[in-house]
Amino acid sequence: MPGICAGRVAAVTGAGRGLGRAHALALVAEGARVVVNDLGASAVGAGASPGPAHQVVDEIRALGGQAVPHTGDITTTDGAASLLATALDAYGRLDTLVNNAGFLRDRMLVNLDEDDWDAVIGVHLKGHFLPLRHAAAHWRAEAKAGRTPNARVINTSSGAGLLGSVGQGNYAAAKAGILGLTLVAAAELARYGVQVNAIAPAARTRMTEQTFAETMAAPTDGAFDAMAPANVSPLVVWLSSAASDGVTGRVFEAEAGRITVMQGWRPGPTADKGGRWTPAEAGEAARRLLTKAEPPLPVYGAR
């Protein structure tokens, strides 16, 4: 298939449903060959099934595209390594990694137990790090062998990672961590021909449809479906392609027909005594500075 990703090979994690599926289909529509990863777990991370990954592969092949399934657990070293191996075995290369897999276990902090913390941090943050680490090692080896890649990584954060979200301390922490990982990876991997960016999407998926059932319902009158996962995918496809040359270390919000470049932390008002503050002086200075600073945006779900 012709398109801006013609000839490229992409691996998409969590591609059996929702955003990942939409990304895989959109990449194929623009000429990419895709490794469809999905463990087939439930919306809270329980169990496993090869069904979702294979179903999306069948869907792609029925459309005339090329795809292979990968049902390994990308939160483990073996699973992440086999994701790269699947791409190399099937297509001889990997050009783009889209980290997307995840699930939710929402609790208020006082009710959030250690297992729920570890599971969500594991699938989102570790599930980004391990595929990225194995892909990066491959691309570094290619660069050192004189075959510098034109590689892309697209990580998936969230508004919860940017602003916080009540009842999602584990998820917000993981998604904020992904932003930090994105910035470090962009800086470290640029010398090897790798660009790394992140998106913070808003769409109707298994993770959001129960919480926002009314506001995210698909229209029945043929109107534009603002919450369709496919609305986010065009930006992912462009970031995955060679057309995005020079764009790295950036974070984009994507929702409906809107794309926003997020600015991130920047220094605001500052006071410098030139020596050590007393606690009272530090407090007075902090109070003065806060009157000059922009107020923070509200945390999602805060009243």
Instruction: Decide if 165 is catalytic.
Output: no
The structure tokens listed for 295 are 């107020």
The active-site residue, picked from 82, 157, 165, 175, is 175
Euclidean distance between CA atoms 79 and 73, whole angstroms = 5
The active-site residue, picked from 171, 192, 233, 240, is 171
Instruction: Decide if 171 is catalytic.
Output: yes
Euclidean distance between CA atoms 147 and 169, whole angstroms = 42
Residues 131 and 83: beta-carbon distance below 8 Å: yes
Give the Cβ contact number of residue 239 at 10 Å: 23
Instruction: Decide if 175 is catalytic.
Output: yes
Q: Which residues pair with 67 in a beta bridge?
A: 34
The active-site residue, picked from 157, 158, 233, 241, is 158
Positions annotated as catalytic residues are 158, 171, 175
